[in-house]
Chain A
Amino acid sequence: MQKLLSGNAFVFGKNVDTDQIYPGRFVEFTDVEDVAKYAMFGADPEFTCKVKKGDFIVAGTNFGCGSSREHAAITLKAVGIGAIIAESFARIFYRNAINLGIPLIVCPNISKLIQTGDRLSLDLHSGEIRLEKSLIATAEPMSEYVLNILESGGIKPLIKQQLATGNRA
């Protein structure tokens, strides 16, 4: 995957839960085209009209808390979110997003340094986050394990390869 990403920021607060990312009443939808219509619907019903491919979500602590619904990650991937930068992530959401190949970056205080509409660039390997051209923060490096999943385009290709070679370790 691309090492250097850039896009506009959409900034949210702390404890953005999965009902805000993807409300429960839409969980019965299973096709990606349907799921894509409701990204961030509980927090901002206009979000899908405003977001462009490659844009970033920036948030406070515990982004993605709540339900295990993978729809929350699927909907953000479907609208083309480039990366999510948050002060911390809820565990299940973290796994779901990485499994689908969405880069998740942990960076303390980031929600206070950036405003909605800021043009950001992000170096996935160094964790450096730039606003216009100036460095404003350096995020925690991702683990090798997680980077490997992202660079493989999500976990499905990796498991597919394992199954094909009969390696179940």
Chain B
Amino acid sequence: MHAIEKLLAKKAGKRSVKTGEIINCEIDMAGINDLYLQTLRSFFEMGGTKVHDPSKVIMFLDHYAPASTITQATNQKQFREFCWDQGIDLLMDIDQGVCHQVLADKGLAYPGEIVVITDSHTTTHGAFGAFGTGVGATDLAIILATGKLWFRVPEIIKINFEGKLPKGVYAKDAILHAIGTLGADYAVYKAVEFGGSMLEHLSISERMALCNMSTEMGAKASYIQPDAITMAFLEEKVTRAYEIYHTDEDFVYADEVTFDVSNLKPQLAAPSSVDNVFDVSQFIGRHIDQAYLGSCTGGRADDIGIAAHILQGRKVAPRTRFVIVPASKGVLLEAMEKGYVKTLIEAGATFVTPGCAACLGTHEGMIASGETCITTTNRNFPGRMGDTKAEIFLGSPAAVAAAALMGEIVDPTLYM
């Protein structure tokens, strides 16, 4: 069996599981975002009165942090009251940041865990050897009511990245390249394991970006086998007991593909789909109205550090805005301690409160018709960050910061 199958079997109280089987699993951590008031409604509509296990529920006020309309404020008020009424202590209010980063910062993401959040990018937790998957509001309400949720045991695909990334090229480039090659529906309903020698050089931050973006090829979950890099992170953050699963040597993957990244060029996903991927050279000189660095994909301290390195002692281009949204309070504090915030504000960047901000097209950094934005986020769908006639390019933190500096799309490797 694969490590993921062993993990699922354990949580379903079974010795083994097989692909396609429908199983009912105990959920270790169930997260709700402030977008999904329907979760609470569905809970009550199903006859729920008391949450099954409040210690396994976490509430994130991250998508509208802080609220910018009365409706958002009213929704958040209801979430807070639900937590207080139900004895849910893990209320991550508007000061905390994006759910996935908050879980990592607080040591709540760990191997062998099943984490289910009302957020499609819950695949991020594969970076810690967890089974993380996104669901809708009603599925999450079922967990609130019963502590469990049904899953179809997925086929498992392996994607290997071999070689060391060149200077100025990042995990974001590697995963964009893979999505561009394989397509946005390559892994629909499947779990993706990442492997290959590239991982030996990849920090937890970069691994999170990789697993996060597996959602954009349709993956249900992702997985990186915990290694020395994972263990170093876990020793620092995680205090609870956990179990690391290992894949049997005779396990056969549903598909296995390998990319050599040793000569990979910086990549961009061009408007308006995530699999519309090209070398950055295709778009050199394209004017940028807004450069945006943030989100659960590309808003970590390392990402802000790359931007600070590029903009140290320089200025953001005159007709370009540079919006930076730290993924969490922890990220913001680290970026402050390391001096990145000062460097970037002096360069002309605008900092926004930790959270999801304009990544989902609701507030704080929206773009107008006819504008072009380059961003470290995860989606460039029409209308994603504002007007449907705006254009969005997805790239690495270096590609975004270098574009902010020059006011147009450039090859970031020249600015490292």
Contacts and interface: CB of A to CB of B under 8 A. Distances in A.
Contacts of B46: 156, 159-160, 163
A134 interface: no
Nearest to A26: B362
Nearest to B378: A66
Contacts, number: 135
Contacts of B75: 28, 30
Nearest to A29: B71
A138 B47 CA distance: 38
Contacts of B188: 61-62, 65, 88-91
A163 B48 contact: yes
A19 B384 contact: yes
B186 to A, nearest CB: 10
B136 A27 contact: no
B135 interface: yes
Interface string B139-150: 100100111101
A169 B218 CA distance: 29
Interface in B149-200: 150, 184-185, 188-189
A68 interface: yes
A96 B218 CA distance: 15
Contacts of B63: 27
Interface in B118-136: 118-120, 134-136
Given A25-B362, A66-B120, A156-B46, A90 B38 contact: no
- Chain A, interface residues (CB within 8 Å), range: 35 or more
Nearest to A167: B146
A62 B145 contact: no
A8 interface: no
A55 B37 CA distance: 28
Interface in B35-60: 35-38, 41-42, 45-48
A24 interface: yes
B48 to A, nearest CB: 7
Given A19-B383, A20-B381, A68-B135, A91 B185 contact: no
Interface in B300-356: none
A99 interface: yes
Given A68-B119, A70-B36, A163-B48, A42 B382 contact: yes
Most A-side CB within 10 Å, residue of B134, B137, B138? B138
Interface string A153-169: 01110011011100011
B72 interface: yes
Nearest to B48: A163
Contact of A15 (B71, B134, B184, B362): B184
5 contacts: A15-B273, A19-B361, A27-B360, A42-B382, A92-B120
Interface of B: 22, 24, 35-38, 41-42, 45-48, 63-64, 69, 71-72, 75, 118-120, 134-139, 142, 145-148, 150, 184-185, 188-189, 218, 220, 273, 275, 360-362, 379, 381-384, 388
**Shortest beta-carbon contacts, A-B, top 7:** A24-B361, A96-B136, A62-B185, A70-B136, A70-B137, A24-B360, A159-B46
